[in-house]
Amino acid sequence: MLRILTLCHGNICRSPLAEVLIEAAISADPLLAGRVVVSSAGTSDEHAGEGMHANSAAILRAQGLRSTHRARLFTPALAATLDLVVAADQANLRDARAILRMGEKRPEIRLLRDFDPTAVGRDLDDPWGYPLAEYERVAEEIAAAIPGLLAELRDRI
């Protein structure tokens, strides 16, 4: 079983949105379904235990996807269970690398938008505090990266 984790700052907007969108794409892929587990976490514990942001949840519900979630912190112990960490932005990447230095097992860590060959910029901007349209833009950027991520996962299986 391949285990991947999507990572952002608070684990309430981008990473749970990415988690569910990637999870749905994996479920629809006959080569990956049942062979890849997706989860999410944040580099900060300020939202630990909270549900997904209402705008992220609304986007997922509109697509008939799961919107339940509880934010959690990315820790060395969690990292030890993973094969790949997909970070939302370069600040999350730096924070994750600092957290990973504390653990024994270090999964590979990459930026989500690096899986999209057409991406302009490498960061998936944080929509927190912005209107629904920003969350929709983030969802589109996540969706654009999914084919490249799935190709990478197929190579690892």
132-156 and 14-27 are packed helices; what angle lies between their axes, rounded to 10 degrees?
50
Q: Which amino acid is at 156?
A: R
Task: Report, as residue numbers or ranges, the catalytic residues.
Answer: 8, 14, 126
Q: Are 83 and 107 in contact (CB under 8 A)?
A: yes
| DSSP 3-state of 8 | strand
Q: How many CB atoms lie within 10 A of CB 49?
A: 9
